[in-house]
Structure 1
Amino acid sequence: TYSSHTRCGFIFFQLFTDGTTNKLVGCYLDDSPNDVVLVRVYGNKTELIVDRDNELKSFQVLHANGCAPRLYCTFLNGICYEFMQGDALGTQDVRDPTLLRLIAREMARIHAIHAHNGCIPKPNLWIKMRKYFSLVATEFTEQASNIRIQQEVPSKVVLEQEMVWMKEHLSTLGSPVVLCHNDLLCKNIIHNSKEGHVRFIDYEYSSYNYQAFDIGNHFNEFAGMTEPNYGLYPSREMQMEWLKVYLQAYKLFTKNTEEVSQRELETLYVQVNKFALASHFFWGFWALIQAKYSSIDFDFLGYAVLRFNQYFKTKPAVMALQIPE
């Protein structure tokens, strides 16, 4: 914790270390430790992977709908915004039956927001994935990294084949296109136990996207990020509980009914688990780009290898799932 003096007291600066894209600093006066302003300084070259204009639009839309904190200002390489009181969740918290329901309802609330002014929203998944693929570096500065990529990461030919196959297969599953968070890892969920609610933070990847991608991506994040354990991926039983709460809330927000049929539930289950494959690929590409440019102390290359491995490991079982007639 650092501090600097002003006429009205000391301003304290606390550096948060959990981010894997940016640097985050909390600022507060010595006599008001709970009134915190957050300053986020964008990571090196993150404009390659994050659409900053889109992030600001998402921030404002979500705030207007009571889902995000207040944005105070923007500057050349960062933003300043309201601190959201509560605790960031961990891998065990997202499995908790009470918190699980709160998270499902909050995601449904965001997915039900209409901010597209009557236009038919288009998913940005394939455009973004194609952009990331084009940025993936095959040459790294350290020779060791080059060798590691050649030995552990699938070839560009294989990656492109899978990407083309995914687009053909997943885009025909009928998943609605909604306003998505797209990065709902555990630490991006804040639980305010006093108020009894959860809120989502960090909207860098927010956009219109497939409903099932947002949910499948969240289920993948049950594994955690620093030392991912995909044995924590939610069981069918846990998913069904989550998806039922989500569908009831989503239908209430969009159609004024809470009635959910078994067929709707089964359909969403299949869509979600298939789109979870795309989530592995998306973040695999992201990590390869970060491995080249990021100054943050994290094994991005190892993380990329893990995500691609998990994709190929789970693909056969997931592809055997069929949407009910």
Structure 2
Amino acid sequence: MERRNAVKQIAGTKHLEIFADEQDLRNNIEALMKEVRPLWKSAEIKIKVFTNGITNKLVGCHVDQDMEEVVLVRIYGNMTERFIDRENEVKNFQILHAHHRAPELYCTFQNGICYEFIKGTVLDMWLLRNPSIFRLVAKEMAHFHSVEPENGYSSEAALWKSLSMYLTLLKSSHSEPAAGVSSVDNMNDMPSFDILVSEIELLKEHLSQIKSPVVLCHNDLLCNNIIYIEAKGDVKFIDYEYAGYNYQAYDIGNHFNEFAGVSELDFSMYPPQEMQVEWLQSYLEVYKERTGSEPTVTEWEVQKLYVQVNKFSLASHFSWGLWALLQSRYSTIDFDFLRYARERFKQYFKKKDEFLALQFSC
């Protein structure tokens, strides 16, 4: 563990010059809690390591048996700073907290953040399909998307810039040593680099004509990032490291893709049209109200968004496929990123013609 005495403010949030070494986790946690929860006795601090994350290591810290107060410590994954803007993550966290869409951010440290734990039920693939819950998710996303940009905050869609960055990193990664057991050189059954480039160009040309609004998006709304608070009849989204301004339809399409799960992908769980229509109806009712539009939702508006969402779901497959290739090169997390990339690209090509052919009347 590396620690200096300097404590500074970064973007209005306390920053600690502490580096959390996973090999010395206990001492690291105690040092962080000394600053974040100074009244906690070090010997009484209990640590729970969560295993759901495939980007970072997440640790819960508490002193009471009932876990009434928990501080979450997220230790950033190896080399993730190459494709995640951590300063932007902190800014998004603050903006969302100010709009009651995110928990409190306690501090940042050299390779992570500490923040408030939201007590509730983490959704799974089956809860995600429960009508009473998916309506809550749709409404919460509408609230998320209606957050106004801060002064000086770029509201340009991040999708094409992100895909270009992934391609650049992927190309350069061939000459670097791999951190994990996998390598992007082992790309059997994977699209060639030239095919990846040409498919992105095709997607950009097609999707740019759709004119989906650019809004503040979560961009990573898998089931583990949604907390159901049953007592309040509410849901909250967590983990904002990929959040930023992006296409409305991309965020929703990405979420629909996540109905397939993470560890064992099952794309037969992708929501059917009837479920999507109900979800989109709930979403538009709140989104139009929050953005000052006529509150009545027409069948044409639902159908238009349905077409946009399914088309942009293709870009989601492509984005996470490239991301997984990079993770296979750099991540030290025990997860088969290459298999995940193969499955995402396979689904992209399976649905490509069907979704690109979808049309709505103007």
Alignment match, 1:230: 267
User: Mapping of 1:257-276 within 5 angstroms?
Assistant: 257-276=294-313
User: Mapping of 1:104-123 within 5 angstroms?
Assistant: 104-117=138-151, 121-123=155-157
- Alpha-carbon offset, residue 152 of structure 1: 1.3
Alignment match, 1:281: 318
Alignment match, 1:62: 96
Structure 2 gaps, min length 5: 1-24, 31-38
The number of aligned residues is 324
CA–CA separation in structure 1 for the residues paired with 2:261 and 2:286 = 26
| Aligned counterpart for 2:348 among listed residues 286, 308, 311 | 311
- Cα-to-partner distance string for 1:205-236 (whole Å, 9 max, x where unaligned): 00000000000000000000000100000000
Structure 1 gaps, min length 5: none
Q: Name the aligned partner's letter for residue 129 of structure 1.
A: L
- Cα-to-partner distance string for 1:99-152 (whole Å, 9 max, x where unaligned): 010000000001001024387721011001100111114467599856640x21
Is 1:20 paired with 2:54?
yes
Q: Name the aligned partner's letter for residue 123 of structure 2.
A: L
User: TM-score under structure 1 normalisation?
Assistant: 0.94
Secondary structure (helix, strand or coil) at the match of 2:328 reads helix
Is 1:178 paired with 2:215?
yes
Q: Name the aligned partner's letter for residue 301 of structure 1.
A: L
Secondary structure (helix, strand or coil) at the match of 2:45 reads strand
Q: Is the 8 A contact 1:9 1:30 kept in 2?
A: no
- Cα-to-partner distance string for 1:213-263 (whole Å, 9 max, x where unaligned): 000000000000000100000000000000000011100101153211111
CA–CA separation in structure 1 for the residues paired with 2:104 and 2:181 = 45
Secondary structure (helix, strand or coil) at the match of 1:164 reads helix
Q: Is the 8 A contact 1:9 1:29 kept in 2?
A: no
> Which region of structure 1 is more displaced relative to structure 2, 306-315 or 24-33?
24-33
Q: Could you say what the CA RMSD is over the residues aligned between the two structures, in angstroms?
A: 2.2
Secondary structure (helix, strand or coil) at the match of 1:218 reads helix
Alignment match, 2:160: 126
| Aligned counterpart for 1:80 among listed residues 107, 114, 125 | 114
Secondary structure (helix, strand or coil) at the match of 1:255 reads coil
- Cα-to-partner distance string for 1:54-78 (whole Å, 9 max, x where unaligned): 1011100000000000000001100
Q: Is the 8 A contact 1:55 1:205 kept in 2?
A: yes
Alignment match, 1:254: 291
C-alpha distance 146-22 of structure 1, shift in aligned 2 (>3 A) = closer
- Alpha-carbon offset, residue 34 of structure 1: 1.4
Task: State the percentage of identical aligned residues.
Answer: 52
Q: Name the aligned partner's letter for residue 89 of structure 2.
A: E
User: Mapping of 1:171-210 within 5 angstroms?
Assistant: 171-210=208-247
Is 1:164 paired with 2:198?
no
- Cα-to-partner distance string for 1:173-228 (whole Å, 9 max, x where unaligned): 01000000000000000001111100000000000000000000000000000001
Q: Name the aligned partner's letter for residue 17 of structure 1.
A: T
User: TM-score under structure 2 normalisation?
Assistant: 0.85
CA–CA separation in structure 2 for the residues paired with 1:321 and 1:135 = 32
- Alpha-carbon offset, residue 323 of structure 1: 2.4
